[in-house]
Amino acid sequence: MPQSADRVLDHAPLFRQPEYQEMFARKREQFECPASGEAVEAQRDYARTWEYREKNLAREALVVNPAKACQPLGAVFAAAGFERTMSFVHGSQGCVAYYRSHLSRHFKEPSSAVSSSMTEDAAVFGGLNNMIDGLANTYSLYDPKMIAVSTTCMAEVIGDDLHAFIQNAKNKGSVPQDYDVPFAHTPAFVGSHVDGYDNMIKGVLEHFWKGRTRSAGEGLNLIPGFDGFCVGNNRELKRLLDLIGVSYTLIQDASDTYDTPSDGEFRMYSGGTRLEDVAAALNARATLSLQKYCTRKTLDYAAEQGQETHSFHYPLGVRGTDELLLKISELSGRPIPEAITMERGRLIDAMADSQSWLHGKKYAIFGDPDVVYGLARFVMETGGEPIHCLATNGTKAWEEEMQALLASSPFGASGQVWAGKDLWHLRSLLFTEPVDFVLGNSYAKYLERDTGTPLIRTAFPIFDRHHHHRFPVMGYQGGLRLLTTILDKIFDKLDQDTIDPAKTDYSFDLTR
Protein backbone atom coordinates (compact mmCIF):
# COMPACT_ATOMS: atom_id res chain seq x y z
CA MET A 1 0.00 0.00 0.00
CA PRO A 2 1.26 3.50 -0.74
CA GLN A 3 0.10 4.73 2.66
CA SER A 4 2.55 4.12 5.48
CA ALA A 5 3.23 5.54 8.90
CA ASP A 6 6.61 6.79 7.72
CA ARG A 7 5.21 8.86 4.98
CA VAL A 8 1.53 9.67 5.27
CA LEU A 9 0.07 11.06 2.07
CA ASP A 10 -2.83 13.43 2.30
CA HIS A 11 -5.94 13.03 0.18
CA ALA A 12 -4.68 14.96 -2.80
CA PRO A 13 -1.82 12.64 -3.78
CA LEU A 14 -3.02 9.47 -2.02
CA PHE A 15 -5.91 8.58 -4.28
CA ARG A 16 -3.76 8.99 -7.34
CA GLN A 17 -1.83 5.89 -6.34
CA PRO A 18 -2.43 2.90 -8.61
CA GLU A 19 -4.18 0.84 -5.91
CA TYR A 20 -6.88 3.46 -5.54
CA GLN A 21 -7.14 4.15 -9.22
CA GLU A 22 -7.75 0.46 -9.84
CA MET A 23 -10.34 0.38 -7.10
CA PHE A 24 -12.18 3.36 -8.58
CA ALA A 25 -12.14 1.80 -12.01
CA ARG A 26 -13.37 -1.53 -10.67
CA LYS A 27 -16.21 0.02 -8.71
CA ARG A 28 -17.21 2.02 -11.70
CA GLU A 29 -17.32 -1.01 -13.93
CA GLN A 30 -19.06 -3.28 -11.46
CA PHE A 31 -21.55 -1.00 -9.78
CA GLU A 32 -22.25 1.98 -12.02
CA CYS A 33 -23.10 0.35 -15.36
CA PRO A 34 -21.38 3.37 -16.90
CA ALA A 35 -22.15 4.68 -20.34
CA SER A 36 -19.31 4.42 -22.81
CA GLY A 37 -16.68 7.11 -22.85
CA GLU A 38 -17.88 8.24 -26.27
CA ALA A 39 -21.46 8.52 -25.08
CA VAL A 40 -20.38 10.65 -22.14
CA GLU A 41 -18.26 12.84 -24.41
CA ALA A 42 -21.09 13.21 -26.89
CA GLN A 43 -23.46 14.25 -24.14
CA ARG A 44 -20.90 16.67 -22.79
CA ASP A 45 -20.49 18.21 -26.22
CA TYR A 46 -24.22 18.45 -26.68
CA ALA A 47 -24.55 20.38 -23.43
CA ARG A 48 -22.31 23.05 -24.96
CA THR A 49 -24.60 23.76 -27.88
CA TRP A 50 -27.14 26.51 -28.50
CA GLU A 51 -29.71 23.81 -29.05
CA TYR A 52 -29.25 22.55 -25.51
CA ARG A 53 -29.22 26.10 -24.20
CA GLU A 54 -32.65 26.76 -25.74
CA LYS A 55 -34.03 23.66 -24.04
CA ASN A 56 -32.32 24.56 -20.81
CA LEU A 57 -33.74 28.08 -20.77
CA ALA A 58 -37.19 26.75 -21.60
CA ARG A 59 -37.09 24.68 -18.41
CA GLU A 60 -40.18 25.42 -16.33
CA ALA A 61 -40.64 23.17 -13.33
CA LEU A 62 -37.14 22.16 -12.40
CA VAL A 63 -34.51 24.34 -10.73
CA VAL A 64 -30.90 23.16 -10.84
CA ASN A 65 -28.34 24.72 -8.53
CA PRO A 66 -30.26 27.84 -7.57
CA ALA A 67 -28.10 30.77 -6.50
CA LYS A 68 -30.19 31.58 -3.47
CA ALA A 69 -30.94 30.32 0.00
CA CYS A 70 -34.16 30.28 1.99
CA GLN A 71 -35.73 32.95 4.19
CA PRO A 72 -34.79 31.55 7.62
CA LEU A 73 -31.09 31.62 6.71
CA GLY A 74 -31.46 35.34 6.13
CA ALA A 75 -33.33 35.68 9.39
CA VAL A 76 -30.64 33.84 11.34
CA PHE A 77 -27.96 36.02 9.81
CA ALA A 78 -30.01 39.14 10.59
CA ALA A 79 -30.47 38.12 14.23
CA ALA A 80 -26.72 37.57 14.57
CA GLY A 81 -26.21 41.30 14.19
CA PHE A 82 -27.84 42.22 17.53
CA GLU A 83 -26.37 42.27 21.01
CA ARG A 84 -26.49 38.94 22.87
CA THR A 85 -29.22 37.64 20.62
CA MET A 86 -30.03 33.99 20.13
CA SER A 87 -31.69 32.97 16.93
CA PHE A 88 -34.64 30.68 17.64
CA VAL A 89 -36.08 29.00 14.58
CA HIS A 90 -39.54 27.63 15.16
CA GLY A 91 -39.63 24.41 13.20
CA SER A 92 -37.73 21.21 12.83
CA GLN A 93 -34.16 20.67 13.87
CA GLY A 94 -32.43 19.85 10.61
CA CYS A 95 -33.03 23.17 8.90
CA VAL A 96 -31.29 25.01 11.72
CA ALA A 97 -28.29 22.72 11.60
CA TYR A 98 -27.96 23.71 7.97
CA TYR A 99 -28.15 27.48 8.65
CA ARG A 100 -25.51 27.17 11.32
CA SER A 101 -23.11 25.17 9.23
CA HIS A 102 -23.74 27.38 6.20
CA LEU A 103 -22.75 30.50 8.12
CA SER A 104 -19.90 28.74 9.91
CA ARG A 105 -18.44 27.45 6.69
CA HIS A 106 -18.38 30.94 5.25
CA PHE A 107 -17.17 32.86 8.28
CA LYS A 108 -15.03 30.13 9.81
CA GLU A 109 -16.62 30.96 13.16
CA PRO A 110 -19.12 29.16 15.35
CA SER A 111 -22.66 30.20 14.54
CA SER A 112 -25.29 29.89 17.22
CA ALA A 113 -28.96 29.21 16.55
CA VAL A 114 -31.51 26.95 18.18
CA SER A 115 -34.70 25.37 16.99
CA SER A 116 -37.95 24.40 18.63
CA SER A 117 -37.27 20.86 17.40
CA MET A 118 -40.72 20.20 16.03
CA THR A 119 -41.44 16.58 15.19
CA GLU A 120 -44.36 14.71 13.71
CA ASP A 121 -46.63 15.19 16.71
CA ALA A 122 -45.94 18.90 16.69
CA ALA A 123 -46.87 18.97 13.03
CA VAL A 124 -50.17 17.32 13.81
CA PHE A 125 -51.09 19.10 17.01
CA GLY A 126 -49.33 22.41 16.41
CA GLY A 127 -46.04 23.62 17.75
CA LEU A 128 -47.20 25.61 20.75
CA ASN A 129 -45.66 23.29 23.31
CA ASN A 130 -42.38 23.33 21.43
CA MET A 131 -42.42 27.11 21.58
CA ILE A 132 -43.18 27.16 25.30
CA ASP A 133 -40.48 24.64 26.17
CA GLY A 134 -38.08 25.93 23.59
CA LEU A 135 -38.09 29.53 24.74
CA ALA A 136 -37.75 28.46 28.37
CA ASN A 137 -34.80 26.21 27.57
CA THR A 138 -33.06 28.75 25.37
CA TYR A 139 -33.50 31.42 28.02
CA SER A 140 -32.03 29.31 30.81
CA LEU A 141 -29.39 27.41 28.82
CA TYR A 142 -27.79 30.19 26.80
CA ASP A 143 -28.61 33.33 28.76
CA PRO A 144 -29.36 35.57 25.77
CA LYS A 145 -30.46 39.17 26.12
CA MET A 146 -32.92 38.69 23.30
CA ILE A 147 -34.39 35.73 21.46
CA ALA A 148 -35.21 36.35 17.80
CA VAL A 149 -37.82 33.92 16.51
CA SER A 150 -38.20 32.96 12.90
CA THR A 151 -39.90 30.01 11.26
CA THR A 152 -39.23 27.16 8.89
CA CYS A 153 -41.58 25.84 6.25
CA MET A 154 -43.01 23.27 8.57
CA ALA A 155 -44.34 25.77 11.09
CA GLU A 156 -45.67 27.91 8.26
CA VAL A 157 -47.49 25.05 6.56
CA ILE A 158 -49.37 24.13 9.69
CA GLY A 159 -49.99 27.82 10.28
CA ASP A 160 -48.46 28.44 13.72
CA ASP A 161 -49.06 32.02 14.81
CA LEU A 162 -45.82 33.35 16.29
CA HIS A 163 -47.35 36.39 17.91
CA ALA A 164 -49.89 34.32 19.83
CA PHE A 165 -47.44 31.52 20.59
CA ILE A 166 -44.83 33.85 22.04
CA GLN A 167 -47.47 35.59 24.15
CA ASN A 168 -48.67 32.17 25.34
CA ALA A 169 -45.14 31.15 26.19
CA LYS A 170 -44.63 34.32 28.15
CA ASN A 171 -47.91 33.74 30.00
CA LYS A 172 -46.70 30.29 30.87
CA GLY A 173 -43.53 31.79 32.27
CA SER A 174 -41.09 30.57 29.64
CA VAL A 175 -39.48 33.97 29.61
CA PRO A 176 -40.35 37.12 31.57
CA GLN A 177 -43.23 39.18 30.23
CA ASP A 178 -41.01 42.13 29.38
CA TYR A 179 -38.31 39.98 27.78
CA ASP A 180 -37.42 40.85 24.19
CA VAL A 181 -38.70 38.22 21.76
CA PRO A 182 -39.00 39.81 18.33
CA PHE A 183 -40.24 37.49 15.59
CA ALA A 184 -40.71 37.14 11.87
CA HIS A 185 -42.59 34.69 9.74
CA THR A 186 -40.03 33.39 7.28
CA PRO A 187 -41.44 30.57 5.17
CA ALA A 188 -38.71 29.06 3.06
CA PHE A 189 -41.07 28.47 0.18
CA VAL A 190 -41.46 32.20 -0.39
CA GLY A 191 -38.74 34.49 -1.64
CA SER A 192 -35.19 33.91 -0.51
CA HIS A 193 -32.72 34.71 2.22
CA VAL A 194 -32.84 38.41 1.36
CA ASP A 195 -36.54 38.44 2.22
CA GLY A 196 -35.88 36.54 5.43
CA TYR A 197 -33.35 39.18 6.33
CA ASP A 198 -35.90 41.88 5.59
CA ASN A 199 -38.63 40.22 7.65
CA MET A 200 -36.38 39.66 10.64
CA ILE A 201 -35.02 43.22 10.69
CA LYS A 202 -38.52 44.55 10.38
CA GLY A 203 -39.60 42.20 13.17
CA VAL A 204 -36.88 43.53 15.45
CA LEU A 205 -37.66 47.17 14.68
CA GLU A 206 -41.35 46.61 15.19
CA HIS A 207 -40.70 44.94 18.50
CA PHE A 208 -38.75 47.92 19.81
CA TRP A 209 -40.60 50.73 18.10
CA LYS A 210 -44.23 49.66 18.40
CA GLY A 211 -46.39 51.87 20.57
CA ARG A 212 -43.65 54.41 21.11
CA THR A 213 -43.79 57.99 20.00
CA ARG A 214 -41.08 59.22 17.74
CA SER A 215 -39.28 62.47 18.35
CA ALA A 216 -37.25 63.15 15.28
CA GLY A 217 -33.53 63.62 15.88
CA GLU A 218 -30.43 64.03 13.75
CA GLY A 219 -28.96 60.53 13.76
CA LEU A 220 -28.91 58.12 10.88
CA ASN A 221 -29.73 54.43 10.77
CA LEU A 222 -27.77 52.22 8.41
CA ILE A 223 -28.84 48.70 7.54
CA PRO A 224 -26.09 46.77 5.77
CA GLY A 225 -28.30 44.03 4.32
CA PHE A 226 -27.37 40.38 3.90
CA ASP A 227 -23.64 40.74 3.41
CA GLY A 228 -21.14 37.90 3.40
CA PHE A 229 -18.39 40.51 3.69
CA CYS A 230 -19.94 42.06 6.78
CA VAL A 231 -16.87 41.68 8.98
CA GLY A 232 -14.79 43.86 6.70
CA ASN A 233 -17.56 46.01 5.28
CA ASN A 234 -19.27 46.97 8.54
CA ARG A 235 -15.99 47.97 10.11
CA GLU A 236 -15.08 50.00 7.06
CA LEU A 237 -18.48 51.69 7.10
CA LYS A 238 -18.08 52.58 10.74
CA ARG A 239 -14.62 53.99 10.07
CA LEU A 240 -15.94 56.17 7.24
CA LEU A 241 -18.92 57.35 9.28
CA ASP A 242 -16.63 58.18 12.20
CA LEU A 243 -14.31 60.11 9.87
CA ILE A 244 -17.23 62.17 8.65
CA GLY A 245 -18.35 62.54 12.25
CA VAL A 246 -21.93 61.41 11.82
CA SER A 247 -24.10 60.19 14.67
CA TYR A 248 -25.41 56.85 13.49
CA THR A 249 -26.71 53.45 14.43
CA LEU A 250 -25.66 50.46 12.38
CA ILE A 251 -28.75 48.31 12.61
CA GLN A 252 -27.66 44.68 12.40
CA ASP A 253 -23.90 44.62 12.81
CA ALA A 254 -22.58 41.06 12.70
CA SER A 255 -18.95 42.10 12.31
CA ASP A 256 -17.91 40.96 15.80
CA THR A 257 -20.28 38.00 15.98
CA TYR A 258 -18.53 36.43 13.03
CA ASP A 259 -15.03 37.49 13.97
CA THR A 260 -14.16 36.63 17.57
CA PRO A 261 -10.54 36.37 18.65
CA SER A 262 -8.97 33.05 19.60
CA ASP A 263 -7.98 33.71 23.18
CA GLY A 264 -9.19 30.58 24.89
CA GLU A 265 -12.63 31.93 25.61
CA PHE A 266 -15.77 30.84 23.77
CA ARG A 267 -18.06 33.75 23.07
CA MET A 268 -21.53 32.68 22.19
CA TYR A 269 -22.29 36.35 21.65
CA SER A 270 -19.99 39.14 20.64
CA GLY A 271 -20.68 42.71 19.62
CA GLY A 272 -23.82 43.40 17.66
CA THR A 273 -26.11 46.41 17.72
CA ARG A 274 -27.04 47.31 21.28
CA LEU A 275 -30.72 46.83 22.03
CA GLU A 276 -31.16 50.29 23.52
CA ASP A 277 -29.65 51.70 20.34
CA VAL A 278 -32.19 49.79 18.28
CA ALA A 279 -34.97 51.27 20.39
CA ALA A 280 -33.50 54.76 20.14
CA ALA A 281 -33.13 54.37 16.39
CA LEU A 282 -36.82 55.20 16.08
CA ASN A 283 -35.83 58.81 16.54
CA ALA A 284 -33.32 58.83 13.72
CA ARG A 285 -33.68 61.39 11.03
CA ALA A 286 -33.39 58.80 8.29
CA THR A 287 -32.83 55.11 7.63
CA LEU A 288 -30.46 54.09 4.88
CA SER A 289 -30.33 50.60 3.53
CA LEU A 290 -27.24 49.51 1.67
CA GLN A 291 -29.22 46.81 -0.11
CA LYS A 292 -32.66 47.66 -1.36
CA TYR A 293 -33.83 44.12 -2.00
CA CYS A 294 -32.84 43.09 1.50
CA THR A 295 -34.96 45.78 3.15
CA ARG A 296 -38.06 46.55 1.16
CA LYS A 297 -40.51 45.93 3.97
CA THR A 298 -38.19 47.28 6.63
CA LEU A 299 -37.76 50.60 4.86
CA ASP A 300 -41.47 50.79 4.26
CA TYR A 301 -41.99 50.35 7.97
CA ALA A 302 -39.39 53.01 8.79
CA ALA A 303 -41.11 55.36 6.37
CA GLU A 304 -44.44 54.72 8.07
CA GLN A 305 -42.82 55.84 11.32
CA GLY A 306 -42.01 59.12 9.64
CA GLN A 307 -38.37 58.57 8.81
CA GLU A 308 -36.76 59.55 5.56
CA THR A 309 -35.59 56.39 3.81
CA HIS A 310 -32.99 55.76 1.14
CA SER A 311 -31.71 52.58 -0.35
CA PHE A 312 -28.64 51.59 -2.33
CA HIS A 313 -27.57 48.61 -4.34
CA TYR A 314 -24.57 47.30 -2.43
CA PRO A 315 -22.57 50.51 -2.93
CA LEU A 316 -19.19 49.60 -4.37
CA GLY A 317 -16.43 51.26 -6.33
CA VAL A 318 -16.19 54.94 -7.14
CA ARG A 319 -19.80 55.86 -7.99
CA GLY A 320 -21.36 53.53 -5.49
CA THR A 321 -19.29 54.88 -2.64
CA ASP A 322 -19.70 58.48 -3.82
CA GLU A 323 -23.42 58.03 -3.79
CA LEU A 324 -23.51 56.62 -0.27
CA LEU A 325 -21.15 59.21 1.22
CA LEU A 326 -22.93 62.08 -0.49
CA LYS A 327 -26.24 60.98 0.91
CA ILE A 328 -24.75 60.64 4.38
CA SER A 329 -23.12 64.05 4.07
CA GLU A 330 -26.33 65.60 2.81
CA LEU A 331 -28.50 64.10 5.54
CA SER A 332 -26.07 64.87 8.34
CA GLY A 333 -24.91 68.25 7.04
CA ARG A 334 -21.36 67.11 7.74
CA PRO A 335 -18.66 67.74 5.14
CA ILE A 336 -16.67 64.84 3.73
CA PRO A 337 -13.16 65.10 5.16
CA GLU A 338 -9.98 65.43 3.18
CA ALA A 339 -8.82 61.99 4.30
CA ILE A 340 -11.71 60.36 2.45
CA THR A 341 -11.15 62.50 -0.63
CA MET A 342 -7.58 61.19 -0.67
CA GLU A 343 -8.82 57.61 -0.40
CA ARG A 344 -11.09 58.22 -3.35
CA GLY A 345 -8.20 59.60 -5.36
CA ARG A 346 -6.12 56.54 -4.54
CA LEU A 347 -8.77 54.15 -5.78
CA ILE A 348 -9.08 56.07 -9.04
CA ASP A 349 -5.30 56.15 -9.33
CA ALA A 350 -5.17 52.39 -8.92
CA MET A 351 -7.90 51.85 -11.49
CA ALA A 352 -6.07 54.06 -13.96
CA ASP A 353 -2.78 52.23 -13.34
CA SER A 354 -4.40 48.93 -14.25
CA GLN A 355 -6.84 50.11 -16.89
CA SER A 356 -5.29 48.39 -19.87
CA TRP A 357 -5.58 44.99 -18.17
CA LEU A 358 -9.21 45.50 -17.19
CA HIS A 359 -10.48 47.12 -20.33
CA GLY A 360 -12.86 45.00 -22.35
CA LYS A 361 -12.77 42.00 -20.02
CA LYS A 362 -16.08 40.17 -20.10
CA TYR A 363 -17.79 38.97 -16.96
CA ALA A 364 -20.66 36.83 -15.83
CA ILE A 365 -21.94 38.06 -12.46
CA PHE A 366 -24.36 36.18 -10.27
CA GLY A 367 -25.65 36.43 -6.71
CA ASP A 368 -28.13 38.50 -4.75
CA PRO A 369 -29.88 41.26 -6.68
CA ASP A 370 -28.13 44.17 -5.00
CA VAL A 371 -24.74 42.49 -5.05
CA VAL A 372 -25.02 41.79 -8.77
CA TYR A 373 -26.04 45.39 -9.38
CA GLY A 374 -23.11 46.76 -7.36
CA LEU A 375 -20.57 44.46 -8.98
CA ALA A 376 -21.84 45.13 -12.49
CA ARG A 377 -21.58 48.85 -11.90
CA PHE A 378 -18.03 48.55 -10.59
CA VAL A 379 -16.98 46.31 -13.45
CA MET A 380 -18.24 48.89 -15.94
CA GLU A 381 -16.27 51.59 -14.14
CA THR A 382 -13.12 49.61 -14.87
CA GLY A 383 -13.98 49.26 -18.55
CA GLY A 384 -15.20 45.71 -18.14
CA GLU A 385 -18.36 44.35 -19.71
CA PRO A 386 -20.96 42.50 -17.67
CA ILE A 387 -22.27 40.02 -20.22
CA HIS A 388 -24.47 37.85 -17.99
CA CYS A 389 -26.07 39.28 -14.84
CA LEU A 390 -27.94 36.55 -13.05
CA ALA A 391 -29.90 36.51 -9.80
CA THR A 392 -32.01 33.49 -9.00
CA ASN A 393 -33.85 35.64 -6.47
CA GLY A 394 -34.04 38.60 -8.84
CA THR A 395 -37.46 40.01 -9.58
CA LYS A 396 -38.97 41.68 -12.60
CA ALA A 397 -38.33 45.03 -10.92
CA TRP A 398 -34.68 44.12 -10.41
CA GLU A 399 -34.43 43.07 -14.02
CA GLU A 400 -35.66 46.49 -15.10
CA GLU A 401 -33.22 48.25 -12.82
CA MET A 402 -30.38 46.17 -14.18
CA GLN A 403 -31.40 46.91 -17.76
CA ALA A 404 -31.37 50.61 -16.97
CA LEU A 405 -27.95 50.29 -15.34
CA LEU A 406 -26.53 48.49 -18.37
CA ALA A 407 -28.05 51.08 -20.69
CA SER A 408 -26.30 53.85 -18.75
CA SER A 409 -22.85 52.84 -20.00
CA PRO A 410 -21.45 51.75 -23.36
CA PHE A 411 -19.85 48.86 -21.50
CA GLY A 412 -23.28 47.50 -20.70
CA ALA A 413 -24.30 47.26 -24.34
CA SER A 414 -23.78 43.49 -24.55
CA GLY A 415 -25.14 42.83 -21.08
CA GLN A 416 -28.03 40.46 -20.52
CA VAL A 417 -30.05 40.20 -17.34
CA TRP A 418 -31.25 36.84 -16.12
CA ALA A 419 -33.76 37.13 -13.31
CA GLY A 420 -34.96 33.88 -11.79
CA LYS A 421 -32.40 31.75 -13.61
CA ASP A 422 -30.17 29.23 -11.88
CA LEU A 423 -26.55 28.14 -12.17
CA TRP A 424 -27.38 25.36 -14.60
CA HIS A 425 -28.79 28.04 -16.87
CA LEU A 426 -25.59 29.99 -16.35
CA ARG A 427 -23.64 26.93 -17.42
CA SER A 428 -25.38 26.95 -20.79
CA LEU A 429 -24.89 30.69 -21.06
CA LEU A 430 -21.17 30.34 -20.38
CA PHE A 431 -20.81 27.64 -23.02
CA THR A 432 -22.70 29.46 -25.73
CA GLU A 433 -21.70 33.05 -24.96
CA PRO A 434 -18.39 32.70 -23.13
CA VAL A 435 -16.93 35.37 -20.88
CA ASP A 436 -13.47 35.92 -19.44
CA PHE A 437 -14.38 35.65 -15.76
CA VAL A 438 -17.23 34.72 -13.46
CA LEU A 439 -17.87 36.92 -10.42
CA GLY A 440 -19.78 35.09 -7.74
CA ASN A 441 -19.66 32.65 -4.86
CA SER A 442 -17.93 29.32 -4.36
CA TYR A 443 -20.68 27.33 -6.01
CA ALA A 444 -19.41 28.51 -9.37
CA LYS A 445 -16.23 26.52 -8.95
CA TYR A 446 -18.04 23.70 -10.72
CA LEU A 447 -18.89 26.05 -13.55
CA GLU A 448 -15.24 27.04 -13.60
CA ARG A 449 -14.27 23.41 -14.04
CA ASP A 450 -16.94 22.61 -16.61
CA THR A 451 -16.64 25.68 -18.77
CA GLY A 452 -13.04 26.71 -18.07
CA THR A 453 -14.15 30.19 -17.02
CA PRO A 454 -12.02 31.44 -14.10
CA LEU A 455 -13.99 32.29 -10.98
CA ILE A 456 -13.39 35.43 -8.96
CA ARG A 457 -14.91 34.89 -5.53
CA THR A 458 -16.74 38.03 -4.46
CA ALA A 459 -20.02 37.08 -2.84
CA PHE A 460 -21.68 34.88 -0.22
CA PRO A 461 -21.00 32.06 0.41
CA ILE A 462 -17.27 31.50 0.00
CA PHE A 463 -16.60 28.06 1.42
CA ASP A 464 -13.45 26.97 -0.35
CA ARG A 465 -11.30 30.01 0.30
CA HIS A 466 -10.55 31.58 3.63
CA HIS A 467 -10.93 35.07 5.10
CA HIS A 468 -12.43 36.96 2.21
CA HIS A 469 -15.14 38.18 4.58
CA ARG A 470 -12.55 39.90 6.74
CA PHE A 471 -11.65 42.45 4.07
CA PRO A 472 -13.98 45.23 3.01
CA VAL A 473 -15.17 45.50 -0.55
CA MET A 474 -17.18 48.63 0.20
CA GLY A 475 -15.75 52.12 0.49
CA TYR A 476 -12.81 53.29 -1.58
CA GLN A 477 -10.41 51.03 0.31
CA GLY A 478 -12.76 48.14 -0.29
CA GLY A 479 -12.77 49.07 -3.95
CA LEU A 480 -9.00 48.65 -3.93
CA ARG A 481 -9.37 45.20 -2.45
CA LEU A 482 -11.96 44.20 -5.03
CA LEU A 483 -9.86 45.63 -7.83
CA THR A 484 -6.84 43.66 -6.61
CA THR A 485 -8.87 40.46 -6.35
CA ILE A 486 -10.00 40.83 -9.95
CA LEU A 487 -6.53 41.76 -11.20
CA ASP A 488 -4.92 38.86 -9.35
CA LYS A 489 -7.17 36.47 -11.20
CA ILE A 490 -6.49 38.15 -14.53
CA PHE A 491 -2.74 37.80 -14.02
CA ASP A 492 -2.99 34.29 -12.58
CA LYS A 493 -4.96 33.23 -15.62
CA LEU A 494 -2.40 34.74 -17.94
CA ASP A 495 0.41 33.02 -16.04
CA GLN A 496 -1.40 29.69 -16.14
CA ASP A 497 -1.98 30.05 -19.88
CA THR A 498 1.70 30.73 -20.49
CA ILE A 499 3.37 28.52 -17.93
CA ASP A 500 5.02 25.87 -20.12
CA PRO A 501 8.76 26.50 -20.34
CA ALA A 502 9.93 27.11 -23.88
CA LYS A 503 6.43 26.42 -25.23
CA THR A 504 4.00 29.02 -24.05
CA ASP A 505 6.00 31.13 -21.62
CA TYR A 506 6.35 34.08 -23.98
CA SER A 507 4.02 36.02 -21.69
CA PHE A 508 5.11 34.55 -18.38
CA ASP A 509 6.39 37.92 -17.32
CA LEU A 510 7.90 39.23 -14.14
CA THR A 511 7.01 42.84 -14.80
CA ARG A 512 3.53 44.00 -15.69
Partner 1 sequence: MLKDKIADVFNEPGCEKNQAKGAKERKKGCTKPLTPGAAAGGCAFDGAKIVLQPITDVAHLIHAPLACEGNSWDNRGAGSSGSDLWRRSFTTDLTELDVVMGQGERKLYRAVREIARTYAPPAIFVYSTCVTALIGDDIEAVCAKASETCGLPVIPVNAPGFVGSKNLGNKLAGEALLDHVIGTVEPDDVGPTDINILGEFNLAGEFWAVRPLFERLGIRIRACIPGDARYREVAAAHTARATMMECSTALINLARKMEERWGIPFFEGSFYGISDTSDALRQTARLLVGRGAPSDLLDRTEALIAEEEARAWARLEAFRPRLQGKRVLLNTGGVKSWSVVAALMEIGVEIVGTSVKKSTAEDKERIKQLLKDENHMFESMAPRDLYAKLASHEADIMLSGGRTQFIALKAKMPWLDINQERHVAYAGYDGMVELVRRIDLALSNPIWADLRDPAPWDAEGRLTAAGAAPRAEPGRDPAADPTFLAHHRRKFAGAGADDMAEC
Our CA dihedral for 265, 269, 275, 278, rounded to 10 degrees, sits at 120
Of the candidate residues 206, 322, 433, 448, the single one contacting partner 1 (CB under 8 A): 322
Out of 126, 337, 434, 454, which residue is the one contacting partner 1 (CB under 8 A)? 337
Closer to partner 1 by CB, 302 or 439: give it: 302
CB of 211 to partner 1, least distance (A): 22
Choices 192-200, 215-223, 268-276, 447-455; region in contact with partner 1 by CB under 8 A: 192-200
User: 283 and 216 in contact (C-beta within 8 Å)?
Assistant: yes
Q: How many CA atoms lie within 13 A of 360 on its CB side?
A: 2
Question: Considering the rule CB under 8 A, would residue 330 count as an interface residue with partner 1?
Answer: yes
| 511 lies in the binding site for partner 1 (CB under 8 A) | yes
Selected from 19, 45, 400, 492, the binder of partner 1 by CB under 8 A is 400
| 3-class state of residue 320 by DSSP | helix
| CB-nearer residue toward partner 1: 31 or 506 | 506
Q: Give the one residue of 52, 168, 172, 420 binding partner 1; rule: CB under 8 A.
A: 420
Select 103 or 391, whichever has its Cβ closest to partner 1.
391
Q: What's the length of the chain?
A: 512
Is residue 319 a contact point for partner 1 (CB under 8 A)? yes
Instruction: Verify whether residue 181 is a known catalytic residue.
Output: no
Handedness of CA 375, 376, 381, 387 (dihedral sign): positive
Q: How far is the CB of 122 from partner 1 (least distance, A)?
A: 23
- With 0-12 CB in 10 A as exposed, 13-18 as middle and 19+ as buried, what is 190? middle
Within a 10 A sphere around the Cβ of 248, how many other Cβ atoms? 21
Specify the residue, 383 or 472, whose C-beta has the smaller distance to partner 1: 383
Binding mask 339-378 for partner 1 (x = CB under 8 A): -xx--xx--xx-xxx-xx--xx------------x-----
65 binds partner 1 (CB under 8 A): no
Torsion, Cα of 209, 210, 211, 215 (10° steps):
30
In whole angstroms, how close is the CB of 73 to partner 1 at the nearest point?
15
Residue 501 sits in the site that holds partner 1 (CB under 8 A): yes
DSSP 438-481: EEE-GGGHHHHHHH-PPEEE-SS---SS-SGGGS--BHHHHHHH
Shortest reach from residue 358's CB to partner 1, in Å: 8
Smallest separation (angstroms) from partner 1 to the CB of 60 = 9
- Sequence letter at residue 491: F
Q: Which range, of 140-148, 273-281, 333-341, 423-431, touches partner 1 by CB under 8 A?
A: 333-341
- Cα angle: 449, vertex 453, 457; to 5 degrees: 90
Query: Who contacts 155 (Cβ-Cβ below 8 Å, separation ≥6)?
Result: 90, 91, 116, 118, 127
Q: Say whether residue 490 binds partner 1 (CB under 8 A).
A: no
Select 485 or 498, whichever has its Cβ closest to partner 1. 498
Nearest CA to 235 out of 472, 467, 458, 479 is that of: 472
Residue 300 within binding range of partner 1, rule CB under 8 A: yes
CB nearer to partner 1: give 171 or 356: 356
Candidates 380, 423, 439, 462: give the one binding partner 1 (CB under 8 A).
380
Residue list 158-187, contact with partner 1 (CB under 8 A): 187
Whichever of 45 and 400 has its CB closer to partner 1, that residue is: 400
How far apart are the C-alpha atoms of 122 and 154, rounded to whole Å? 10
Exactly one of 102, 193, 207, 292 binds partner 1 (CB under 8 A); that residue is 292
Minimum CB–partner distance for residue 384 and partner 1 (Å): 9
- Asked whether 316 and 335 are in contact (CB, 8 A), the reply is no
85 binds partner 1, rule: CB under 8 A: no
* Residue 77: partners with Cβ closer than 8 Å, 6 or more residues away: 103, 193, 197, 226, 254
- Kindly name the residue from 70, 114, 149, 153 that is annotated as catalytic: 153
Rule CB under 8 A: say whether 306 interacts with partner 1: no
At residue 440, what are phi and psi to the nearest 5 degrees? 175, -160
Which CB, 271 or 383, lies closer to partner 1? 383
Please count the residues of this chain forming the interface with partner 1, following the rule CB under 8 A: 79
DSSP 30-64: HHS-PPPHHHHHHHHHHTTSHHHHHHHHT--S---
Q: Which is nearer to partner 1, 180 or 195 (CB)?
A: 195
Whether 446 and 375 have beta carbons less than 8 Å apart is answered as no
**Quick one: which of 42, 164, 268, 404 contacts partner 1 (CB under 8 A)?**
404
Interatomic CA distance for residues 300 and 452, integer angstroms? 43
- For residue 336, the 8-state DSSP code is P
DSSP single-letter state for residue 211: T
Which is closer to partner 1, CB of 47 or CB of 318?
318
Least distance from C-beta 53 to partner 1, angstroms? 18
Q: Pairing mode, if any, of strands 220-223 and 385-391?
A: unpaired
Of positions 141, 164, 326, 499, contacts partner 1 by CB under 8 A: 326
- Binding residue (CB under 8 A) for partner 1 from 116, 392, 453, 477: 392
Please select the residue that binds partner 1; options are 267, 297, 361, 470, rule is CB under 8 A. Answer: 297
Strands laid side by side in the 146-151 sheet: 114-115, 85-90, 146-151
Judge whether 230 counts as a catalytic residue. Answer: no
Residues with catalytic roles: 153, 157
